[in-house]
Amino acid sequence: MPNDPKTLTTAPAPDNADLPRVTYAKTLVGQPALVTGANSGIGKATAIGLARAGADVVINYVTDPAAAEAVAHEIEGFGGRAIAIQADVSKEDEVLAMFAQAVSHFGTLHIVVSNAGLQRDSPFEQMTLEQWNTVIGINLTGQFLCTREAARVFRKRGIVSEVSVACGKIICMSSVHQEIPWAGHANYAASKGGVMLLMKSIAQELAPHRIRVNSVGPGAIRTPINTEAWSTLEAYADLMRLVPYKRIGEPDDIAQAVAWLASDAADYVTGATLFVDGGMTLYPGFATGG
Ligand code: NAD
Q: What is the model's pLDDT at position 67? A: 98
Residue 13: predicted pLDDT: 54
- Number of neighbouring beta carbons within 10 Å of residue 30: 14
Ligand 1 center–CA 116 separation, angstroms: 5
Largest CA distance in the chain: 57
**pLDDT given at position 18:** 55
Q: Collapsing DSSP states into helix, strand and coil, what is residue 267?
A: coil
For the CA atoms of 116, 117, 118, 124, the dihedral, rounded to the nearest 10 degrees, stands at 170
Output the pLDDT for position 19.
Answer: 60
Q: State the catalytic residues.
A: 188
Q: Which residues pair with 58 in a beta bridge?
A: 34, 83
pLDDT the model gives residue 14: 46
Whether 199 contacts 213, CB under 8 Å: yes
Q: 10 Å Cβ neighbour count for 132? A: 16
Which atom of ligand 1 approaches the CA of 249 most closely? 40
- Exposed, middle or buried by CB within 10 Å (0-12, 13-18, 19+), for 282? middle
Tens-of-pLDDT digits for all 290 residues of the chain? 444 433 334 555 545 555 657 899 999 999 999 999 999 999 999 999 999 999 999 999 999 999 999 999 999 999 999 999 999 999 999 999 999 999 999 999 999 999 999 999 999 999 999 999 999 999 999 999 999 999 999 999 999 999 999 999 999 999 999 999 999 999 999 999 999 999 999 999 999 999 999 999 999 999 999 999 998 999 999 999 999 999 999 999 999 999 999 999 999 999 999 999 999 999 999 998 77
Domains of the chain, each with CATH number or no CATH: 23-222+250-277 (3.40.50.720)
Sort 79 into a burial class: Cβ within 10 Å, 0-12 / 13-18 / 19+. Answer: exposed
Identity (one letter) of the amino acid at 191? S
d(CA 275, CA 244) in angstroms, rounded, equals: 14
Order of strands across the sheet with 111-114?
82-86, 57-61, 33-35, 111-114, 168-173, 211-218, 273-276
Q: Which of 196, 223, 254 to mutate to test the pocket of ligand 1 (most atoms within 8 A of CB)?
A: 223
Residue nearest to atom 21 of ligand 1 (CA): 37
Show the ligand 1 pocket: residues with CB < 6 angstroms: 36-37, 39-43, 60-63, 88-90, 115-118, 138, 173, 175, 218, 220-221, 223-226
